[in-house]
Amino acid sequence: MNSVTDIEQQLHRHLVDAGLISADTIWQAQTGGRTNKVWRLSGALDLICKLYLDASTNPLYANTPRAEYDCLRALTGAGVAPDAHGFVETPFGVVLLYHYIAGQVWDGDVLSVADLLGRVHALNPSIGLRVLPDTVSSVAAQGVDILDKIKDARGDELRALRPDVRLEPIAPVLIHTDVVAGNLIHGAHGLRLIDWQCPALGDPLVDVAMFLSPAMHFIYGSAALSEAAKNDFLKQINPRIRARYEQAGILYHWRMAAYCLWRFEQGVVDYKQAAALEMALLK
């Protein structure tokens, strides 16, 4: 197994030979990614390099390199995402390069997130993305599938807490699906979403529920939203989407609780507390 240093050196040579970076590029490993290896590349250009790892066993989050690259290309100039630079197969796996956004991780301004999601959901990129089922039965079925993988006794408790909700279908729109604090960067030109590795066409409720998830705020080191902040966010979003969240958002929190229990059983210990936070919403 090559060390990270060896991988950096060999990727460096590969990307220089491909004409994607300059020979004097400096590599700096980034710590935020939980699924793939990520570096910041400083040289003639300021880039992020993402090396995709296999995440095919994840029951909730896809890891789709080509879809991320296609999204970044299609969203260039839209003011919602970083600009793509390159996409290439390497001996270590697929690599995506995109332009680094200088700025700070999201600072707690919920109105800026509401504005950003409104702009994302209004876009109609001409790219082939997976389409997520928008029925509550499909969301519930996915939660049950995740619970079937869990041995923890809290899985049985969670089964009993499954919400019974109804929701009318909605025309699918572009959704990010992983709107968490670590993927929100505030730069010189406002708030942007990074890590588009699991985009889809689907119900915008997916993004709203993800942003409001107390589990995900805990996992990414941001304080859980206060009731006032949550209400401010919901007041700012499209009234139709707000109504959908008020009607069926609890089901998405139930599914997230199941996912957190599964992650805990995979050995990621901080997901134990994350699951408890999400389950508290159900009681």
Average pLDDT, rounded, for the chain: 93
What count of other Cβ atoms lies within 10 Å of the Cβ of residue 5?
10
Q: How many residues does the chain have?
A: 283
Give mean pLDDT, residues 214-237. Answer: 95
pLDDT value of position 269: 95
On whether the CB atoms of residues 117 and 237 are closer than 8 A, the answer is: yes
Higher-confidence residue: 30 or 235? Answer: 235
pLDDT value of position 57: 80
pLDDT value of position 32: 67
pLDDT value of position 2: 46
pLDDT value of position 1: 34
- Residues with Cβ within 8 Å of 110's Cβ and at least 6 positions away in sequence, in order, are 225, 229, 230, 232, 233, 236
How far is the CA of 161 from the CAs of 28, 78, 84, 156, 158, in angstroms? 45, 41, 43, 9, 5
**CATH code linked to domain 4-100:** 3.30.200.20
Give pLDDT tens digits for 245-254: 999 999 999 9
**CATH code linked to domain 104-280:** 3.90.1200.10
Interior CA angle at 252 toward 230 and 209, to 5°?
30
Give pLDDT tens digits for 196-223: 999 999 999 999 999 999 999 999 988 8
Full-model pTM: 0.94
Give pLDDT tens digits for 153-182: 899 999 999 999 999 999 999 999 999 999
pLDDT value of position 31: 81
Domain definitions of the chain by residue range: 4-100, 104-280
On whether the CB atoms of residues 82 and 168 are closer than 8 A, the answer is: no
Nearest to 73 by CA among 81, 84, 64, 82: 84
Greatest distance between any 2 Cα atoms in the chain: 58
Give mean pLDDT, residues 90-110. Answer: 95
Nearest to 130 by CA among 50, 62, 207: 62
What percent of the chain is modeled with pLDDT above 90?
86
